[in-house]
Amino acid sequence: MSGGPPKALPSTGPHSLRDMPHPLAGSSSEEAVGGDSTPSPDLLMARSFGDKDLILPNGGTPAGTSSPASSSSLLNRLQLDDDIDGETRDLFVTVDDPKKHVCTMETYITYRITTKSTRVEFDLPEYSVRRRYQDFDWLRNKLEESQPTHLIPPLPEKFVVKGVVDRFSEEFVETRRKALDKFLKRITDHPVLSFNEHFHVFLTAKDLNAYKKQGMALLTRVGESVKHVTGGYKLRSRPLEFAAVGEYLDTFALKLGTIDRIAQRIIKEEIEYLVELREYGPVYSTWSALEGELAEPLEGVSACIGNCSAALEELTDDMTEDFLPVLREYILYSDSMKSVLKKRDQVQAEYEAKLEAVAVRKEERPKVPADVEKCQDRMECFNADLKADMERWQNNKRQDFRQLLMGMADKNIHYYEKCLMAWESIIPLLQEKQEAK
């Protein structure tokens, strides 16, 4: 699912990718073609971001660079639902080997980031650096600054409730390691973000603190100027296409939030039930010492309950480690997408404000000013990048949830099969006693 040398796809817009500069990032992009709207957000999402090809070949362009010349970037765009052969990928990143550091002022965990790449931007074929959570947070902030038109993958939440979760426990550290690994793989698989200069620094620099001290990027200042311009201006309305996206994200986050809360309650009840089972089984074993003919069946029941307890513990661990993190990631993903939509709205509001100003003085200046055209280009680039990222997100979501639900079904089937086998195992013991009589 990652990036190699891309070929440009044909454009249906008025400008080609090479001819049209990206107004926000200072590099190439294409105009977006608005999709047909329908009353149902789900139907519209499927039509706009699933069946219809988007114009932007690489989903946008990174700040200060030309379009990445990597074919695996294009493959990532077209083959998200398929496993791409390892030979096609040109960038591999893994997060492993968490280590605890105890200092005078603080205690923290670092993770080893191993990078292997054949890209010309990398001087060496392999890098290994150590990063802590706040370094990942720095990277994400930099990506948001330098790629404001793109959807940045979410990080796992930093804060945990003290006394409830031990953030230095092996279970918590491993869960976070998996989430951080997925975060970097999401970026690696993106045909634009994977070429970002800050991402390159994060993967290769031995001392990241020197880069953290650098000042605010140009695109951040551009973003702040947009906020200033649109400060007192209310957006008339989103295009129906993006309005449907916003409604879908609200409903999607609400549904996932409900599932997450219920799943956590179920896991909590399963853990409580597990405690009861562990006390329940041994009672039959101690009782069997007082019986003669019933001793063997009672021992069988005790063993059966023990097997059911082990199966339930395995199921609960799987739900906690595999099911809940995916739900939380996509809840955070929906928040990230809403944030990008809000930025898009700010650019549209600026464009509408400039158009109104031009309309007032139309007689004095019959020609549309260059700053208005530039603002229009910026909005069109925002639309194109957002649509491409939304399609990529939808493809990832379908793939992730198919895998998640299949795994959940499989684990539940195994759990009930183990319980069934355990209870069936004591039936012959009872039948033998009846036949003996």
In degrees and rounded to multiples of 5, residue 93 shows phi and psi of -130, 135
Number of alpha carbons in the 13 Å side-chain half-sphere of residue 193: 30
Rounded Cα–Cα distance for residues 226 and 224 (Å): 5
Closest CA to 344 of 226, 248, 228: 226
Closest CA to 76 of 188, 179, 178, 155: 188
Answer for the pair 353, 233: CB distance below 8 angstroms, yes or no: yes
Specify the CATH superfamily of domain 89-214. Answer: Phox-like domain (3.30.1520.10)
Closest CA to 298 of 275, 310, 280, 272: 280
Which residues touch 332 (CB under 8 Å, ≥6 apart)? 154, 155, 157
Question: Tokens standing for 224?
Answer: 């702040």
Number of alpha carbons in the 13 Å side-chain half-sphere of residue 314: 15
Note the pLDDT of residue 364.
Answer: 58
pLDDT by residue for the chain (437 residues), tens only, comes to: 444 444 433 333 344 333 444 444 443 333 333 444 444 444 444 444 444 333 333 334 344 333 343 333 333 433 444 444 444 788 999 999 999 999 888 889 999 999 999 999 999 999 999 999 999 999 999 999 999 999 999 998 875 544 446 778 888 899 999 999 999 999 999 999 999 999 999 999 988 988 887 654 444 554 555 444 445 556 777 888 899 999 999 999 999 999 999 999 999 999 999 999 999 999 999 998 888 888 888 999 999 999 999 999 999 999 998 899 999 999 999 999 999 999 988 888 888 888 887 777 665 555 667 778 888 888 899 999 999 999 999 999 999 999 999 999 999 999 999 999 999 988 887 776 555 55
Against a cut of 0.75, is the pTM above it? no
Where are the domains positioned within the chain? 89-214, 237-431
Given the structure tokens 């609400």, which residue do they identify? 254
DSSP 80: T
Pick the CATH number of 237-431 from 1.20.1270.60, 3.40.50.150, 1.10.3210.10, 1.20.120.530: 1.20.1270.60
Closest CA to 177 of 87, 114, 261: 114
Closest CA to 301 of 317, 280, 316, 320: 280
Tell how strand 126-132 and strand 107-117 pair up: antiparallel
Note the pLDDT of residue 437.
Answer: 53
Rounded Cα–Cα distance for residues 336 and 322 (Å): 22
Closest CA to 15 of 40, 36, 32, 35: 32
